[in-house]
Amino acid sequence: MTYKTLLLEKKPDYAIVTLNRPAELNALSLDMRMELSDCFNYLEGEGDVHVVILTGGDYVFSAGMDLKEMAAIPDGDIKHYFATVSQLLKKIYSFPKPVVGAAGGVALGGGFNLLALCDLIIASESAIFGHPELKFGINPLFDPLRQLVGVAKAKELTMLGEPIGAMEALRIGLVNKVVPPEKLMEETEAIASELAKRSPTTIKYIKKLSTMVPLLDKYSALQLECDTEEFLFSGAERKMLMNEFIESLREHKHR
């Protein structure tokens, strides 16, 4: 698969999708959004891909939406334009496999939105996160951010629009890990490799639970989790994995 605005690299068990408009700081053009949607559709159907890494490279993630392109949109095309935004966001949000974001530098506006939809975020020490949309009369994507950092901090980030660095992002729970710039992809790929070893079925259901449970009352949430546990326990995959684990303990004991 080849793209104009992306690089796709497949490795054993996982794939790396790199935003590739370096001269435009990976601004999210219409072409890039369409290609990202197509790429994620393709990777969803690839049985040997268990995890997807989404990155912008070592020095930038994305400066956000392509403002030059947005400023030139005819009124009659606005609905279609933002339908492509919604399509991409929903695709990443509902993607059944783990998506790990690797932020190597600035992640602003629409780029920040993409990262907020990832399951895990690894940030370089040089990463900067911000929502400047309010300055252009556009609302930021609030809810995915709220789910990560809570209402109060999400309001602060979206209403004031002041950028924060990687260590502050780690402190408030926005990112999972901060690493030196030269270690970004090494650490991210190591995490992807570990995720790929986990049960794909269980991971898929954990992703579903993570979006459904916060919407339910405590009793309904507990019941849903117990029902899911029963369902997974009844599967053949569970029996295979438990037997493999027990066998590994036996081998370790006899060493």
Can you give the pLDDT at residue 249?
67
Can you give the pLDDT at residue 201?
86
pLDDT-based confidence at residue 104 (cuts at 50, 70, 90) = very high
Q: What is the pLDDT of residues 109-144, one digit of tens each?
A: 999 999 999 999 999 999 999 999 888 788 889 999
> Domain map of the chain by residue range?
6-197, 200-253
% of the chain residues with pLDDT over 90: 71
Looking at beta carbons, which pairs linking 234-237 to residues 24 or more positions away fall under 8 Å?
235/201, 237/199, 237/201, 237/202
Q: What is the pLDDT of residues 182-217, one digit of tens each?
A: 999 999 999 999 999 998 888 888 888 888 888 889
Can you give the pLDDT at residue 251?
67
pLDDT-based confidence at residue 245 (cuts at 50, 70, 90) = low
CA atoms of 176 and 165, how far apart (whole Å): 14
CATH number of 6-197: 3.90.226.10
Q: What are the start-end ranges of the H helices in the chain?
A: 30-44, 67-71, 78-93, 110-116, 143-149, 151-160, 166-171, 184-197, 200-212, 218-233, 236-253
